[in-house]
A and B are shown apart, each in its own frame.
Chain A
Amino acid sequence: MTETAAPDYHQMWAELGLDLPTHDMLLQAVGGMYGDAYLTQPNRPEGTGYLDFVLSEVHGLRIKELDDFRKQGGKVVGTFCLYVPEEIVRAAGAWCVGLCAGAEFAYDQVEQIMPRNTCALIKSFMGFKLAKVCPYIESSDLVIGETTCDGKKKAYELLGDIHNVYVMELPQTKDAKALAFWRERVAELMAKVEELTGNKVTADSLRTAIKEVNDKRRALQRIAATFKADPVPMSGKDRLLATQIAFYDDVPRFTQMMNTLADELEARVARGEGVAPKGAKRVLVTGTPMAIPNWKLHDIIEKAGAVVVGEEMCTGSRYYQDLVSEDATTLDEMIDDIAEKYLDINCACFTPNQGRIDDVVRMAKDLGADGVIDYTLNFCGLYAMEQHSVEDAVKAAGLPVLRIETDYSMEDVGQLSTRVEAFLEML
């Protein structure tokens, strides 16, 4: 990272209503975790410098950009989930940002309003909100939730008491009736963001947004494809970070920087250059999403000498593997295409969800994985329930599986390391 005098953002944070001393503490903790997990890695591609920079400014420069945008009348929309179509938000002239989670924060306050045995993702986002340390939610004119699980559904009611929240109802199956229902919800969302921004979504603005967001996905697909190579040209931890940052960053800039990174990775693959020795054990990770700064599992796996070759998760392939069709000419057709693409995402909240199981097996084969780690946050009933089917399918494909249930705390790192290392010894 280049050492320049960091600008002081405290005034901006204060204006957003953040709790400054607590927020300072958070930034220091995240900085420490980042340094330990990321900056200790050898031979990182130059392009990861952008990831370092964005992460170092994740509550700084990016928030300043949102702030400037809002001061010019722009609207910012916060989301927690892949099912909220970014294209619609952008076509109405608003910006989409992912909201903070991924760390244990202010659980004491959260547990006053929610049960202790709620999943870490939900407790974490609520903790960030209650402790006033997430500048993204404080910059969000609207938070768009969805009904992907019971915990989130009810959590949005609680969040609705203290923030402007709109909830999209997601069906639980993927048949034609469900698609028709979902298409209506997408159209309603469009009306909602049009009302928020005062801008009408047009065929032109939506076409542009579809292309922009697809281009972001294409760049991430290019990066992901380089992990078929042995040795891998970059760490899995860095690929995870790139996907995490995709949720926050300016879309065209991020796309450009990720294409530059992909160029570099492709060149490394062509030269046979990598960040781990050829023949290093290769692991596919599947399961629940990993929000910044949750790098715990990847860090354990890669510090044990293996590489994570892919993530079948919301902060992974589910985010970028499918594109919205770019063939539509009318606004109505574009909305159809968006509804269809988003309903195609394979989340455990759907029944049945065979598509996810197929994806795991296909990715494990494509990426030459030696084994699969199925990662679930404690108390996420949906993904925990699917662990059995995932394990059966992966074992039937001839690969071993390690199931892990954990949270954002560090108290089980010793035990997790033992299990991961033993799993790697077994491969």
Chain B
Amino acid sequence: MRVLGLDIGSRSVDAVWLEGGRPLDAAVTDSGFDPQAAARTFVDRGEHDVIVATGYGRHAAREAFGCEVVTEIKAYALGASVLFPEAASVLDIGGQDTKVIALGPGGKVIDFEMNDKCAAGTGKFLEVMAKALGFDLEEMAAAALAADGSGIQISSMCTVFAESEVTGLVHRGADRAAVARGLHDSIAKRTLSSLKRVGATGPLVFAGGVAKNAAMVELVRTGFDGEVLVPEESQTVGALGAALSHGAGAHE
């Protein structure tokens, strides 16, 4: 049986095709303004027997494709623990939310935390800040990594306030690499305290789009008490977990 796992997120739609527990293929596309249409391009390939959806679009997908659904929390927990059986916790920083998950034996969710309704400290936040600093995302991460961490602190985590704060710093002539470093530092600090609250221990699997950001990975690695593992395909961990959840707790 071929299972298509779909992770329909705010910034991207990710797909994994699975057969007998082994991934056959994976794909990522932008969510755009119509994430369901983006998801449909994967469904239309017709290379599956059953679909399991996760992510914000999961309920809409259930209506559109009649598929099973599972939450992102469970999907990431399953995906991460199959990629790294030794994993004890998961961090996922996605397009508009951050999740931290403490895992028990067999990838069982013991505790989790998610940010509230705002996009503080997420992928979207980094995009907005990069734009304010005149960087693209990779340049910003590289600049942050190169800058030394003793300089600027960003106190606002609200995207709107932080943007004003960054604009203010830039207008006062602050070095934009140092500002970028300050931004990454503040997200890392927030993330690490969230990990502490759920009692996360190592090894920690860092997944989601923001795990591609070298500066974030470095800062989480420095601050976290334990090993930090980054999957090669960090963006499709949720889709993989969704596919894996078929027959293991996904609901109709």
Chain A residues within CB distance 8 Å of chain B: 305, 400, 405-406, 411-412, 414-415, 417-419, 421-423, 425-426
Does B56 lie within 8 Å of A418, measured CB to CB? yes
B-chain residues with CB within 8 Å of residue A421 when the two chains form the complex: 71
CB distance from B77 to the nearest CB of A (A): 9
**How would residues 88 to 122 of chain B score, 1 for a CB under 8 Å from any chain A CB and 0 otherwise?**
00000000010000000000111110101100000
If over half of B's interface residues share one DSSP class (helix, strand or loop), that class is named, otherwise mixed; here it is: mixed
Does A419 lie within 8 Å of B117, measured CB to CB? no
The 3 closest A-B pairs by CB, nearest first: A422-B73, A412-B117, A422-B71
B251 contacts partner chain A, Cβ-Cβ < 8 Å? yes
Q: Give the nearest-CB partner of A395 in chain B.
A: B111
Known contacts A405-B116, A412-B117: A400-B111 contact under CB 8 Å:
yes
CB distance from B131 to the nearest CB of A (A): 24
A-chain residues with CB within 8 Å of residue B114 when the two chains form the complex: 415, 418-419, 422
Q: Give the nearest-CB partner of A413 in chain B.
A: B117
A-B residue pairs in contact (CB < 8 Å), sample of 21: A411-B117, A412-B116, A415-B97, A415-B114, A415-B116, A415-B117, A418-B71, A418-B72, A419-B73, A422-B71, A422-B72, A422-B109, A422-B112, A422-B114, A425-B70, A425-B73, A425-B74, A425-B249, A426-B108, A426-B109, A426-B111
Number of A-B contacts (CB under 8 A): 41
Q: Give the nearest-CB partner of B250 in chain A.
A: A425
CA distance A325 to B111 in the complex (A): 43
Q: Give the nearest-CB partner of A403 in chain B.
A: B113
CA distance A287 to B42 in the complex (A): 43
A-chain residues with CB within 8 Å of residue B116 when the two chains form the complex: 405-406, 412, 415
**How would residues 218 to 252 of chain B score, 1 for a CB under 8 Å from any chain A CB and 0 otherwise?**
00000000000000000000000000000001010
If over half of A's interface residues share one DSSP class (helix, strand or loop), that class is named, otherwise mixed; here it is: helix
Chain B residues within CB distance 8 Å of chain A: 56, 59, 70-74, 97, 108-112, 114, 116-117, 249, 251
Q: Give the nearest-CB partner of B57 in chain A.
A: A414
Q: Give the nearest-CB partner of B73 in chain A.
A: A422
Does B111 lie within 8 Å of A305, measured CB to CB? no
A-chain residues with CB within 8 Å of residue B108 when the two chains form the complex: 426
CA distance A305 to B69 in the complex (A): 13
CA distance A426 to B112 in the complex (A): 9
A-chain residues with CB within 8 Å of residue B111 when the two chains form the complex: 400, 426
CB distance from A391 to the nearest CB of B (A): 10
Does A425 lie within 8 Å of B71, measured CB to CB? yes
Does A422 lie within 8 Å of B251, measured CB to CB? no
B-chain residues with CB within 8 Å of residue A405 when the two chains form the complex: 116
A-chain residues with CB within 8 Å of residue B112 when the two chains form the complex: 422-423, 426
CB distance from B249 to the nearest CB of A (A): 6
Known contacts A305-B251, A400-B111, A426-B109: A418-B73 contact under CB 8 Å:
yes
B-chain residues with CB within 8 Å of residue A418 when the two chains form the complex: 56, 71-73, 114
CA distance A406 to B116 in the complex (A): 9
CA distance A426 to B249 in the complex (A): 10
Q: Give the nearest-CB partner of A405 in chain B.
A: B116
CA distance A417 to B114 in the complex (A): 12
CB distance from B138 to the nearest CB of A (A): 28
B-chain residues with CB within 8 Å of residue A419 when the two chains form the complex: 73, 114
CB distance from B36 to the nearest CB of A (A): 14
CA distance A423 to B56 in the complex (A): 16
Known: A418-B72, A418-B73, A422-B71. 12 other contacts (CB 8 A): A400-B111, A411-B117, A415-B114, A419-B73, A421-B71, A422-B72, A422-B73, A422-B109, A425-B74, A425-B109, A426-B73, A426-B111
A-chain residues with CB within 8 Å of residue B117 when the two chains form the complex: 411-412, 415
CB distance from B57 to the nearest CB of A (A): 10
B-chain residues with CB within 8 Å of residue A426 when the two chains form the complex: 73, 108-112
CB distance from A119 to the nearest CB of B (A): 15
Q: Give the nearest-CB partner of A418 in chain B.
A: B71
CA distance A303 to B249 in the complex (A): 17
Q: Give the nearest-CB partner of B115 in chain A.
A: A415
CA distance A218 to B72 in the complex (A): 43
CB distance from B219 to the nearest CB of A (A): 25
CB distance from B203 to the nearest CB of A (A): 21
